[in-house]
């Protein structure tokens, strides 16, 4: 059973130490907020242009598959998604590198979006979705799969004299049901597609969608000057160091001390990045 302190660490970033957080995690939060402000000022013209609907890929409107996750219907929608995604994304980025994590976000958005559209052709042809919540569920299922090997049960409680256990592997479906009950207007099918994509990511079934590491290294070399300029603001995790860590055995979060699991991850200082916390062979809404 995970402790309350672990849950708090996952859910709430400490704004007082924001310069110690990964570049993409911070940048995505700021960028999506700016897009929200611009979208609201333009009477939601941007979100209408990039919202995902079931027929979009069949009409070759492919930009929607990548960009629908960047827009939100309002401040509350944005805040819930950013709070839910911030810490899981930071953990992933610290282990896998900044650019690689950006590619992962796009891969998850596209795979979840395609599933949503294929099912939607039959069940909800006129529904449109936007937002990061599908990716939140993707990282939830990704981590659930990784964690269940060492922590098969995430929570145990008593009900009418019987002990009930919640398997770690299937815990995302509990959150799916809770979200559906508490937020009736949320996209059940979009969240379900996000869960599916997270499992596919953890199992390595969508690794063919990733560019070779040489391409990422080439991009980083070309952007070395602006990357160095970011070091005083956020932590940039380079592909060169991340490559060495993807083969390291997974370091479970639930079975370790919650404080050290999230705090003992080195940060970048000066001109180089210190060693990563290993997360194993990893890859890489609504």
Scanning the structure block, which residue is given the tokens 């000022």?
41
Can you tell me whether residue 153 is helix, strand or coil?
strand
Active site residues: 133, 191
Can you tell me whether residue 192 is helix, strand or coil?
helix
Dihedral sign of CA atoms 178, 205, 70, 93 in order: positive
Which structure tokens are listed for 129? Answer: 């979705």
Extended beta strands in 85-217, E state: 153-159, 162-167
Q: Which of 247, 133, 244 is nearest to 186 (CA)?
A: 133
The number of residues in the chain equals 286
Scanning the structure block, which residue is given the tokens 């950013």?
82
Which structure tokens are listed for 212? Answer: 């070779």
């Amino acid at each position: 059973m995970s402790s309350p302190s672990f849950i708090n660490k996952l859910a709430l970033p400490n704004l007082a130490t924001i310069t110690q957080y990964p570049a993409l995690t911070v940048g995505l939060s700021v960028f999506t907020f700016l897009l929200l402000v611009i979208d609201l000022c333009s009477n939601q013209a941007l979100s209408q242009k990039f919202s995902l609907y079931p027929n979009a890929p069949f009409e070759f409107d492919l930009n929607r598959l990548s960009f629908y996750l960047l827009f939100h219907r309002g401040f509350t929608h944005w805040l819930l998604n950013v709070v839910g995604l911030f810490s899981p994304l930071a953990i992933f980025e610290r282990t896998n590198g900044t650019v690689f994590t950006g590619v992962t976000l796009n891969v998850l958005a596209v795979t979840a979006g395609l599933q949503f559209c294929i099912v939607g052709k039959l069940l909800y042809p006129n529904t449109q979705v936007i937002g990061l919540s599908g990716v939140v569920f993707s990282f939830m299922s990704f981590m659930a799969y990784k964690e269940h090997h060492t922590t098969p049960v995430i929570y145990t409680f008593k009900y009418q004299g019987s002990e009930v256990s919640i398997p770690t592997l299937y815990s995302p479906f509990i959150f799916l049901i809770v979200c559906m009950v508490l937020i009736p207007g949320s996209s059940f099918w979009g969240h379900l597609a996000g869960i599916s994509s997270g499992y596919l990511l953890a199992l390595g079934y969508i690794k063919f969608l990733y560019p070779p590491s040489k391409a990422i290294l080439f991009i980083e070399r070309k952007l070395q000057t602006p990357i160095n300029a970011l070091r005083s603001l956020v932590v940039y995790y380079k592909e060169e160091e991340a490559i060495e860590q993807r083969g390291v055995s997974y370091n479970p979060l639930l079975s370790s001390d919650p404080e050290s699991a999230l705090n003992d991850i080195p940060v970048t200082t000066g001109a180089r990045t210190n060693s990563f916390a290993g997360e194993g062979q990893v890859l890489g809404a609504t």
